[in-house]
Amino acid sequence: MSDLESRIADTMLAKLRERDPSLGPDDLARPVADLDLDSLDLVELHQQLERELQVKGDLKETAGFAFLEDFSTYFVKLASRG
């Protein structure tokens, strides 16, 4: 895992643990629908990743992601563009 992916994973895990402190890195692979996240949590995650990586994403794209891994892929691509 690259440093960038690691920062993204840390941010996502912190978001998950706001709802359930017992969750761990393995839970990042679960479908969003199986996690205790509501639609506003996903907006918050989007904004937190933007701030962490200093990039501007498109909520219309990320709002439909079915897996947290999709966030990682999306933001890695954004951040890599510089």
- Site residues (CB under 8 A) for other proteins? 38-40, 42-44, 46-47, 51, 59-60, 63
Shortest gap between Cβ of 44 and other proteins (angstroms)?
6
* 49 within 8 A of 57, measured Cβ to Cβ: yes
What's the one-letter identity of residue 23?
L
Identity of the residue, 44 or 69, whose beta carbon is nearer to other proteins in the bound complex? 44
Shortest gap between Cβ of 15 and other proteins (angstroms)?
12
- Inter-axis angle of helices 3-19 and 68-81, nearest 10: 140
Instruction: Report which of 81, 22, 10, 21 is spatially closest to residue 48, judged by C-alpha positions.
Output: 10
Identity of the residue, 50 or 69, whose beta carbon is nearer to other proteins in the bound complex? 50
